[in-house]
Chains A and B, each alone.
Chain A
């Protein structure tokens, strides 16, 4: 087990049991066995008594979180060189934790990858039902599913064409095949630009909300809008410059009045009041997520159904 999670060792001398050369029968059998092992685990869980279900989920969560907590609290090896061997069992565990780290961190990526399919599946279920039952706006659901299938097909075809020898050739557009043009048209021309449109539409809402709803209704709103005004004015080069030339009329470069240039006010406000205030909020959130992390890790939190 130690060697499985310590795959940092170069392949030539990695363990014969856990790994096998590419395409070898040992590898194929191993993969089949792992799959069967996993499916066997699922069937085993199907039979699990109702009472123990909460504990099974809690155990998986505890083990997953436990690795990172152990990684933090276990003393790290000082000045470790590539070919070092641990001096004592304690340091052996340290080496194992550190070597296993990139492998464990890919577990998060891979599982998140598998779960992504869940989101896509529920999208297809909702819109598929709307088309089949010809409900209101079924045509738009058809547009959604059709463009999704088209993009998936074009995306794979484009990625596939960029593998292998002619990869760098596709760097310049001259040798593009139709599939590359199609992918660029829908990816760069469609998806990316619509993304930008949705992000920028919020500027309109900010303006209308500012005009209709941002009122000096309380001390808080006043302090907030005053600070925002100073920040906005200091972002505008013209105003900062005009204010500065006004100040320069009143006093030379070393004069006391220089302390009241817009830039100095803004810098003082940022360093002396804004940073500690946001640091206070940040600490509130940080300690809050630490507590929520502990509650979730030890499955103390009751979440939903």
Chain B
């Protein structure tokens, strides 16, 4: 029973995938059916996960506590904290949004959630940006010009040594210092592009902000390339699912054996 069930399930999935892809040709009833089925299943599952994954373990259990099951000796004797019930009315206030006179009250739960979000922006700012500031302070003056090459002879070089050479730890060679300079200049130009409170008259500062916009494009180009890789990989995975996992492994064997 298991194998035939699995084949039926895969067939249903392929049908749904082809149904959704049919919008590429043009919007049609077959597509609209699967789109609404998709939205229905998604909202249905959200209602399940709402209780099973969130409210049950994060609100109901701490509120009512739990007791040790005498038969299986499982679970634990935990007290229930009745004050949790006060959260329910706070949540229900949101449903007043539909009343004409009292819909301002619905802004309280949303205000509390926005308050939690905005308080955290202050809390987490440094965790995210502190290490990046510290990492952006790169030395732009080299402090080492010699390295010991594979044959043991010390070489003078402005360029950073080849992989096989040995240099003392923390050595900054000419090319590394130059790259660090490009790094810091890019960072400062990119950040100064977002300065709005003073008019940039002199040539140098103006040059910095316009080159800032071009340097931002390098960052966006990398995001573009990486996103393209991901989207195509997801499509290849869908094709693999249809042609190999379904057609080749499931459907063809049925016909070939007969």
Contact = CB atoms under 8 A, between A and B. Distances in A.
A, B bound? yes
Interface of A: 4, 7, 11-12, 14, 18-23, 27, 29-35, 37-39, 41-42, 45-46, 53, 56-58, 60-69, 71-72, 106-121, 123, 137, 140-141, 143-152, 155-156, 159, 165, 173-174, 181, 184-191, 193-204, 206, 219-221, 223-232, 235, 253-254, 256, 258, 268-284, 286, 289-290, 292-297, 299
Contacts of B32: 137, 140
Interface string B96-130: 01000010110111111111111111110100110
| Nearest 8 Cβ contacts at the A-B interface | A280-B190, A114-B91, A227-B221, A38-B89, A151-B44, A30-B82, A64-B115, A231-B225
Given A69-B119, A200-B237, A147 B44 contact: yes
A231 to B, nearest CB: 3
How extensive is the interface on chain B, given as a class? 35 or more
Contacts of B81: 4, 7, 18-19
Given A159-B52, A181-B5, A198-B38, A123 B43 contact: yes
A4 B79 CA distance: 12
B193 A107 contact: no
Nearest to B115: A64
Nearest to A296: B118
Interface of B: 2, 5, 8-10, 12-13, 16-17, 20-21, 23-24, 32-52, 54-55, 58-59, 62-67, 72, 77-95, 97, 102, 104-105, 107-123, 125, 128-129, 132, 136, 159, 162-164, 179, 182-184, 186-187, 189-191, 193-194, 212-229, 231-232, 234-235, 237-238, 241
Contacts of B87: 38, 107, 110-111, 114
B179 A112 contact: no
Contacts of A27: 64-65, 79-80, 82
A199 to B, nearest CB: 5
A168 to B, nearest CB: 13
Given A165-B72, A206-B231, A277-B216, A151 B45 contact: yes
A117 B32 CA distance: 25
Contact of A274 (B163, B214, B219): B219
B13 A189 contact: yes
Given A111-B113, A275-B183, A290 B122 contact: yes
Contacts of B13: 189-190, 193
Given A197-B21, A202-B231, A203-B235, A280 B186 contact: yes
Contact of A106 (B58, B79, B104): B58
Contacts of B10: 189
Given A53-B104, A116-B46, A296-B114, 5 more contacts: A30-B82, A31-B63, A151-B43, A228-B222, A275-B183
Contact of A290 (B94, B121, B190, B214): B121
A3 B111 CA distance: 26
A193 B242 CA distance: 11
A91 B256 CA distance: 76
A265 to B, nearest CB: 13
B80 A194 contact: no
Contacts of A223: 214, 217-218, 221
A109 B79 CA distance: 21
A37 B222 contact: no
Contact of B79 (A19, A29, A113, A281): A19
Contacts of B228: 206, 228, 232
B179 A151 contact: no
A279 B128 CA distance: 11
Nearest to A115: B94
A72 B123 contact: yes
28 contacts: A7-B81, A20-B82, A27-B64, A27-B82, A35-B89, A39-B89, A45-B93, A110-B87, A112-B54, A120-B47, A143-B36, A143-B37, A152-B47, A155-B49, A193-B13, A193-B241, A194-B37, A196-B238, A201-B20, A202-B231, A220-B213, A220-B214, A253-B163, A254-B162, A274-B219, A280-B191, A281-B190, A282-B129
Contacts of A147: 36-37, 40-41, 44
B65 A189 contact: no
Given A64-B115, A72-B123, A148-B43, A279 B190 contact: yes
B250 to A, nearest CB: 13
A38 B86 contact: yes
Given A121-B95, A190-B13, A65 B115 contact: yes
B90 A111 contact: yes
Contact of B85 (A34, A58, A256): A34
Contact of B123 (A7, A18, A68, A224): A68
Nearest to A104: B116
Contacts of B235: 200, 203-204
B109 A141 contact: no
B82 to A, nearest CB: 3
Nearest to A56: B108
A199 B227 CA distance: 12
Contacts of A63: 115
